[in-house]
Amino acid sequence: MRSFHHEHWRFPNPTMWLAVALVFSFSLSAAAELGGDVSSVLTDQARMKATVKSTESRSYTVQELKDPSGTVVREYVSPEEKVFAVAWQGPFLPNLRDLLGQYFTAYSKALQAAKARHPGRGPVNIQQPGLVVQSGGHARAFTGRAYLPSLMPQGVQAEEIR
């Protein structure tokens, strides 16, 4: 058995490390996630291989992404260019870790607590002061929405997020 000697080991090419670091950091900050910046919508488009349609309303912009499977994700963007809500519908549930971003952990904990109180399947209705997540459906027909009440533009009602 050969022993490990430092002279047999070489530090990998610094350029390779830089490339790996850039890819990793880009993928971590890429998703247009709840509470995130609008500039990352294009990254979501690439990740989902989706088409994007933008619709202006009086108080916000909706960036609608439709992936090849037919799943639609709507990202609601405030005038301050923050994603204050996301909604989804389609045959497949989108990656909620990506959509909820930094709020995914709070969602997961609240979901576990809710399931402990009411075991079984059924719609999800998480209502916390800083986060609301409502989701339901079944195979081939999922719907849901998540929003941050504190970031919603003045005059916008939760019912508008669909």
* Domain assignment present for 57: yes
pLDDT tens column, 33-49: 899 988 877 777 888 88
Q: Is residue 103 part of a domain?
A: yes
Q: Is residue 131 part of a domain?
A: yes
Give pLDDT tens digits for 47-106.
Answer: 888 899 999 999 999 999 999 999 999 999 999 999 999 999 999 999 999 899 999 999
Owning domain of residue 105 = 31-160
H or E stretch covering 42: helix 41-48
Looking at the structure of the chain, the number of domains it has is 1
pLDDT, tens digit, for every residue of 92-105? Answer: 999 999 899 999 99
The answer to whether position 19 is within a domain reads: no
Q: In Å, how far are 2, 15, 28, 37, 110 from 125, measured between CA atoms?
A: 59, 47, 27, 25, 9
b/e code 69-83 from CB counts within 10 Å (16+ = b) = eebbbbbbbbeeebb
In a domain, 51, yes or no: yes
Q: pTM for this structure? A: 0.78
In a domain, 143, yes or no: yes
Cα within 13 Å of Cα(44), Cβ side: 32
Total Cβ atoms within 10 A of residue 162: 12
CB 34 within 8 A of CB 148: yes
Of 142 and 45, the structure prediction assigns the larger pLDDT to: 142
In a domain, 153, yes or no: yes
The answer to the question of residue 26 being in a domain is: no
